[in-house]
Amino acid sequence: MATQPSSANAKPTVDPATSGLEGIVVARTALSDVNGQLGRLTIRGYDIEELAGRASFEEVAYLLWHGALPREAELWQLQQRLMGYRELPEEARGAIQAAARRMEPMDALRFAVASLTADDPNPADESREANLARAERLLARVPVIVATYHRLRRQQPLVLPRPELGLAANFLYQLSGEEPSPARVKGLNTYLVTVSDHGMNASTFTARVIASTASDMVSAITGAIGALKGPLHGGAPGPALDMIEAIGTPERAEAWMRAELAKGKRLMGFGHRVYKVRDPRAEVLYRAAAALADETGERQALELAHEVERVGVQVLAEAKPGRNLNTNVEFYTALLLRELGLPRDLFSPTFAVGRTAGWTAHVLEQQATGRLIRPQSEYIGPYGLTYVPLEQR
């Protein structure tokens, strides 16, 4: 085997322990900051606790796109535009009908979102104004796609959007056919705000890489959905709920969790790649779940989850000392979304509804820089091999 050719320029190297890009800064952003040591999430200058449960999802989308919360007239105008964008193009409706017959929810969402270029009035226009309009269309249409797919796969009649309902309320309405209570709308708004953006996660990085090639916004969001589909990024809420339900009663929590750890299994909803303390979104979503339980009277599940969290943190501290494995956003997401009436396999698509605000904001920010994201890799293969004709191999 030949040796590596000499070069005047040093070859890039990578520490295998950080081959997942931990600690590597890939972009400058004004959109969000994740402080894993302090357990703090900042969205455009606001701690997530300042926004979640107080601001509507539309307000936070506007904040991400424009850098400031909207005034009353600006919010009203945005809401009017979003209502006007809810009607899907014929091509998207056809894609959803096909997807409902044979595709799982995240595949269906990716497939349908990719078709949303069909009614773009001027695909060649890459001005900020044109891309803002695309961001608004995507934000309005992703929840309609999820709800339409869900109704079709269950062979239920479609529910048309109601123009007087905001995004969260209309999503719940189109899913169920029933106007949701204010408490349910607030619960979903809180969730969507909480997951609207979260630093340079895998799907956001995917969207920015695609945008950096001067590709279009719909392609970037389609790619982000593809990244979110992976269970290491967006697939934990369902298994977290499975765990809570399998435990069943508070007194079973410790024995059940110790048995799972003894088998080498993970406790779902605990631990985070960045946070070394409790995920701040967990507390926000716990409060949202508690407020919803106050309305429904269904506090038993919440009390069980709270005990599972307490015991899980204790058991993990003993089993994996120094790891600081606390609850993450998925833990109370699972409980809240179930209480809102969503089936497990719509948890990740609903996450995508919320994250569309952040994805589109990152695309806008990346387009403003105009620079291709092109990292290097460390080659670890051979050099200087000699070609052997096929008949001699």
Enumerate the active-site residues.
272, 330
In eight-state DSSP terms, residue 270 is B
Q: Is 385 helix (H, G, I), strand (E, B) or coil?
A: coil
Q: Is 139 helix (H, G, I), strand (E, B) or coil?
A: helix
- Burial call 222-258: b when 16+ CB within 10 Å, e when fewer: bbbbbbbbeeebbbbbbbbbebbeebeebeebbebbe
Distance set, CA 82 to CA 18, 46, 75, 189 (Å): 41, 24, 10, 16
- The tokens 């193009």 sit on which residue? 89
In eight-state DSSP terms, residue 2 is B
Of 230, 311, 301, 313, nearest to 270 by C-alpha is 313
C-alpha span between 316 and 261 (Å, rounded): 9
The number of beta carbons lying within 10 Å of the beta carbon of residue 16 is 7
Helix 167-176 vs helix 182-194: crossing angle, to nearest 10: 120
Sign of CA dihedral 94, 97, 100, 102: negative
Sign of CA dihedral 43, 49, 54, 57: positive
Strands (E), 48-136: none
Of 152, 132, 131, nearest to 88 by C-alpha is 152
